[in-house]
Amino acid sequence: MQKPLYSIIVSVYNEEAVLPLFHQEVSAVIDTVADTADFELLFVNDGSSDNSRQILQQLMEKDQRIRVIHFSRNFGHEAAMLAGLDHCRGEAAVCMDSDLQHPPTLLPQMLAKYQEGKDVITMMRTDRADGGMSKHLSSKLFYRIINKMSEAQLQPNASDFFLVSRKVIDVLKNDYRERTRFLRGIIQNIGFERDSINYEAPSRAAGKSKYSLWKLLKFSFSAIASFSKTPLKIGIYSGLIFVFLSIILIIYSIVMWIIDTPVSGYTTLVIFLSAFAGIQLFVTGAIGYYIGFIFDEVKQRPLYIIQSIEQAQSDDKQA
């Protein structure tokens, strides 16, 4: 009986310090289930500028399970995961990062859930060793906001560490090709049989996070925009509120004029106009943000560009 093939998709961006250790740990885990399953390790080099490419080449020469996709430049983590899903060969695929904050030791549990008939297994981060209170609170706030603003309800603390079956992979390849994506949100709302596993994220094994505060904010705005149109409705809601306030102000001014007590309107007028101008600018900015997404979709530029796909030659071919 032929063993099933599973794909492990690994996003890599300037991870030279951790790649050998990651390969060592993930190999040790999948070797424990080698009797019942085959694996491919599909690394996606997202335009790394350090020695990640050379290290991946060295690992590939030692391990014939490895394939490497090299991007022509940096396209971002989401594009790297999508490229891996587009080119993986397994009947199920696990997406994970190479910094070891997605523990390879959890792979057998994920595969066990898949073998029970689950098509999507999301990994829920209950704690993170290097997170700190600020990251914990910002993550909690992000999910609270997006769940309030969107009809799609997301599980808090979901990560980019997940397993999807071939059925889900095919749907992502064929139907979810928008330029602005929030992949961990998409897989939670794509349907099919789903389950989750809780885990604690350890500290990075080496190197440092590639996400600055600005990148995290930009990613958060994109995620909210991809799941919610509420920011576009703020203009309607704020307009109704200001109409109501204006009516009250008009009635109050007329009453004060009738009783011969003129209202000093300078402060009221300044506050009223400042608030109104602020809301107008916010709504205009939100509209511009969504128009930018439409502009990206209309251009139909590629989600990523592959420079090369490399794979070690088998012993038979080398002979």
DSSP letter assigned to residue 313: P
The model's pTM is 0.73
Averaged confidence pLDDT in the chain: 79
Give the model's pLDDT for residue 169.
93
Count CB-CB contacts under 10 A for residue 284. Answer: 11
Q: Give me the percent of the chain exceeding a pLDDT of 70.
A: 71
pLDDT given for residue 212 in this prediction: 54
Q: Which amino acid is at 33?
A: V
Q: For 103-114, b where at least 16 C-beta lie within 10 A, e where not — what string?
A: bbebbeebbebb
Q: Which stretches within the chain are classed as H helix? A: 19-31, 52-62, 77-87, 107-115, 132-149, 166-175, 183-188, 213-227, 230-258, 266-299, 315-318
Please say if the pLDDT value at position 261 is more than 80: no
pLDDT band, very low/low/confident/very high, at 41 (cuts 50, 70, 90): very high
Confidence bin at 288 (pLDDT 50/70/90): confident
Mean pLDDT of 34-61: 91
Q: Which of 142, 125, 159 is nearest to 218 (CA)?
A: 142
For the chain, what is the largest distance between any 2 Cα atoms, rounded to a whole number of angstroms?
A: 104
- Which residues are within 8 A (CB) of 269 and not within 5 positions of it... i.e. 6 or more apart? none
User: 110: closest CA among 127, 99, 123, 124?
Assistant: 123
How high is the pLDDT of residue 296? Answer: 73
Each residue's pLDDT tens digit, 123-175: 888 766 565 555 556 666 666 766 666 666 667 777 788 999 999 999 988 88
**Which carries the bigger pLDDT value, residue 1 or residue 98?**
98
Query: How is the chain split into domains, by residue range?
Result: 5-212+303-318, 230-299
CATH class belonging to 5-212+303-318: alpha beta
The answer on pLDDT for 317 being more than 50 is: no
Helix/strand/coil for 127: strand
42 forms beta bridges with 9, 67
Confidence of residue 76 (pLDDT cuts 50, 70, 90): confident
Q: What is the C-alpha separation between 18 and 25, in angstroms, rounded? A: 11
Q: What is the mean pLDDT of residues 209-215?
A: 56
CB 156 within 8 A of CB 127: no
Read off the pLDDT band of 207 (50, 70, 90). low
For residue 15, what is the DSSP state? -
* Residue 91 DSSP symbol: S
Considering only CA atoms, which of 302, 311, 314, 318 is closest in space to residue 73?
302
Question: Strand, coil or helix: what is 96?
Answer: strand
